[in-house]
Amino acid sequence: MALLITDECINCDVCEPECPNDAIAMGVDYYVIDPHKCTECVGHFDEPQCRQVCPVECIPLNPEWVESKEQLMAKYLRLTAEKAGK
């Protein structure tokens, strides 16, 4: 699953730089996570870094974007290859 940021976000700016996949960006009212880039930090860390630093715990799993660990690893490998190719 990808993660998502709820409207409880206080725009504290700590999650965005922690994302190794550049999946977090400022949305209209609060930060958002691009599910096409979010791997829950699979391939980078044991736990999602954005969740580790979020002071209001507003980053749950996205129920509309269900993925297995294998799918997350495949996404990580694709993103890593794309980044290396740039």
> What kind of fold does domain 16-85 have according to CATH?
Alpha-Beta Plaits (3.30.70)
pLDDT of residue 58: 98
Residues in the chain: 86
pLDDT of residue 85: 85
Q: Residue 83 contacts by C-beta under 8 Å, 6 or more apart in sequence?
A: none
* 26-49 pLDDT tens trace: 999 999 999 999 999 999 999 999
pLDDT of residue 22: 96
* 60-80 pLDDT tens trace: 999 999 999 999 999 999 999
SS (H, E, C) the chain: CCECCCCCCCCCCCCHHHCCCCCEEECCCCEEECCCCCCCCCCCCCCCHHHHHCCCCCCCECCCCCCCHHHHHHHHHHHHHHHHHC
Question: What is the reported pTM?
Answer: 0.92
- Does residue 86 surpass a pLDDT of 80? no
